[in-house]
Amino acid sequence: RSEQNLPRRISAERWTKRSHRSTNYWAADPMSRRHIASNLVALYIVQGMQYVFPLLVLPILTRAIGLERYGVLSFWQSLAAVLVMVVDYGFGYSSIRAINQSDSQTQREAIFWSTMWAKLTLLLPATAILASIAVVTEHAGDPGIILAAWLSLLGASLSPAWYFVAI
């Protein structure tokens, strides 16, 4: 075909240049294969240790603080995890999608602040639930454990991690 018959955005000269052809990066740099493989192995080791480490620490922790206090600690950690899900309320999906579909910086700012205010608003009933369970339970445990549970709620409501995923 002649140059006149080609679409305007791709000229015949540009089409034939080597720099615009697809490149097989695996064949181009054999060292990258080793680099990627070593990174993959390291990531698998880290992921595996995230499962193995708690299993190794569990006997030490139960021996150090006792079974009853470990049960109280587990209860408050579980309650905090459930309430963190209430505070997050799916903003990790809906707000990320909204930011990615936004056209301007002002829209992104509006989405950011509305999400942050919504998370802080959801913090109030989550705090009320946490406080009411602390009052009602017979063995509430150490006030430091309850404070740590509330701080995890506060951290989840103030965390802008969803925003950094979106941008």
Query: Does residue 5 have a pLDDT over 90?
Result: no
105: helix, coil or strand?
A: helix
Asked whether the CA dihedral 69, 70, 71, 73 is positive or negative, the reply is: positive
Asked whether the CA dihedral 56, 59, 61, 67 is positive or negative, the reply is: positive
Q: CA 88, CA 159: separation in Å to the nearest integer?
A: 10
Q: Which amino acid is present at 155? A: G
Q: CA 103, CA 144: separation in Å to the nearest integer?
A: 45
Q: Which pLDDT belongs to residue 130?
A: 94
pLDDT in tens, 30-54: 567 788 888 889 989 999 998 999 8
As a whole number of Å, the end-to-end CA separation of the chain is 43
Q: Write down the pTM of the prediction.
A: 0.67
Q: Which pLDDT belongs to residue 166?
A: 86
Q: Which pLDDT belongs to residue 32?
A: 79
Q: Which of 23-27, 85-89, 106-110 has the lowest mean pLDDT?
A: 23-27
3-state secondary structure 94-163: HHHHHHHHCCCHHHHHHHHHHHHHHHHHHHHHHHHHHHHHHHHCCCCCCHHHHHHHHHHHHHHHHCCHHH
Whole-number average pLDDT of the chain: 84
139: helix, coil or strand?
A: coil
Select from 164, 81, 157 the least CA-distant residue to 119: 157
Select from 101, 117, 106, 103 the least CA-distant residue to 160: 117
pLDDT in tens, 72-106: 889 999 999 999 999 998 898 999 999 999 989 99
